[in-house]
Structure 1
């Protein structure tokens, strides 16, 4: 059954031209890419569920793609940006982008006694956890 669902998802993506064409049809800010994620149903068996991955373009997505990280991809970076759009203000996103060029800056902000930095760090920590969860399979 799992193979059948996976085959159906692949064929439906192939019929529409793949996820890149579908992304162009939906729009640049919020697109949906489909992935198949195994779901435990009973001991010893699994079922598959189609889980949408939202993506977006923005400053974090561009910084992610410009980085030298091996795990970067347009889908993963777009997913991270979509989560950032939901959880971080535009000024918080600009500050987060600076961490790509200067990772030590994140440590400085985290340890700062500045109330603005403390507020930012709480929001950024929540965002990082949400992005890790939402984009782990992207």
Structure 2
């Protein structure tokens, strides 16, 4: 099966979230670069490096059969001719349920190669409880 040629990072990103919502492993892996330096980090999870390890991670996630509804917002992008970085908020809920958890901050990195744009990194992190941070007396370090 040949991989689709994504002509823009936005096309690759739309395909990523579509594959995630459908729990479609083959569609998910068609978005990733075939370079072995790809990376994936999910909230609270370890850093996964390498195409085979990333594939196994998604296989395990999709094996449960849970369908997800994913809404994205607040997209901020930076792009050059060969690299694009997208930072956004993900709101993820189990399909059919009214509410999900708090938003997740995600950074998706795409590289342009001979066969179009491909994902090289997905890093998702839980958002802090901003209300509690606002009311703390002591200063806090974010990074």
User: What TM-score does the superposition give when structure 2 sets the normalisation length?
Assistant: 0.25
Between Structure 1 and Structure 2, which shows a larger proportion of strand residues?
A: 2
User: What TM-score does the superposition give when structure 1 sets the normalisation length?
Assistant: 0.25
Between Structure 1 and Structure 2, which shows a larger proportion of helix residues?
A: 1
**Larger RCO of the pair (alpha carbons < 8 Å, separation 6+):** 2
